[in-house]
Amino acid sequence: MKALLLENIHPEATRILTAAGYDVETRAGALSEEELVSALDGVNLLGIRSRTHVTDNVLRRIPAGLNAIGAFCIGTNQIALPQCATKGVAVFNAPYSNTRSVVELAMAEIVAMARHLTDRNAQMHEGIWSKSATGSHEVRGRRLGIVGYGNIGSQLSVLAEAFGMRVYFYDIQDRLAMGNAQRCDSLDELLSKAETVTLHVDGRKSNAGFFGADQFAAMRPRSLFLNLSRGFVFDDQALAENLKSGHLAGAAVDVFPTEPKSAGERFVSPLQGIPNVILTPHVGGSTQEAQVDIGRYVANKLQEYMDTGSTSMSVNLPEVNTPPRHGVRVLHIHRNVPGVMAQLNSVLSGHDANIAFQALSTRGDVGYAVTDVTAATSGWEEDLAEVPNTISCRVIR
């Protein structure tokens, strides 16, 4: 069994998969579609981060054998999830492992912008001693607006309140307020109240470009802006214009509409060179602690799926939490149409099979059946794979 890990995934993942018996190949950078198609020949497990895109085109061209993909990050918008499901490829991610890392960076940047620390630091490195309180503020008592109140947004809410900030939030879903945070009924309401606005939205396509010139114009004069979520959700040119005009007092951006694919590629942004602007290279979740946790969590999920068939926390396949295996375990992924289970059991019955455990779960167009067989006549495995509407059939012994 072979695993391919791209984009500098933490060595903890390599250690776990190697110990489980996998031949693990690691590569430092992301791969293009053509490179990925070539690299996936003979690969059973693929590990990526955010810059490698597993598209429908890639999935149609790779040979059979890829069982699962691990996204060693939060987002999965770089993966064609429905197409993975219809090809029988399970996808797992790490939705919570780097939450604290992102939250701590956001809070540090809020303080840094309020105190103009990056400008003071640059002056000191140039030999300029400019001791002044002009433009420097405490964050205590100031109003923070959080757009997107999921795992990261809600934890930031708690930490910001501990700093004495007044927190407002807006989310398209009904979210429970943490502490004394106040819900806003619209984005416009939040923008009219907050002195600092921070984006923590997910990577769904509908979020593309949702924060642009109109939203920046609606922000309070001399307020601060942060984006540590997705690069494509905001207009960086509009942000630059509002900073240069003085409408906004500062910004901290960790993700960009266009990002280099490797460390050697030059980064270019309209936000470069503007005072009180903090630019970081997509490192919101890149702490040693978070990367170890992500490496461990996703690698264990991949191994668990391969060893037991468990799809717990899979982002694209029906969820089945599997018990300890009794006999031979059959993992049958199929199109979600009536009668498939009856056909599976008819095959097993025809081979005098003894079923020790069976579970079925469906999700959209895909069904997933897990069956433990303790006794049967020969040939039943091949017959199960030939059942109509089968996507894939894998046996664990």
Enzyme catalytic residues: 230, 259, 282
DSSP string, 348-363: HHHTT-EEEEEEEEEE
Length of the chain: 397
Sheet holding 328-335, edge to edge: 354-363, 366-375, 328-335, 390-396
d(Cα 147, Cα 168) in Å, to the nearest integer? 9
Residue 200 CB neighbour total at 10 angstroms: 28
- Separation CA 226–CA 128 (nearest Å): 28
CA distances from 378 to 347, 381, 393 (A): 12, 8, 16
Residue type, 229: S
C-beta atoms surrounding 37 within 10 Å: 18
Distance CA 239, CA 199 (A): 13
Degrees to nearest 5, angle at CA 346 with 342 and 349: 135
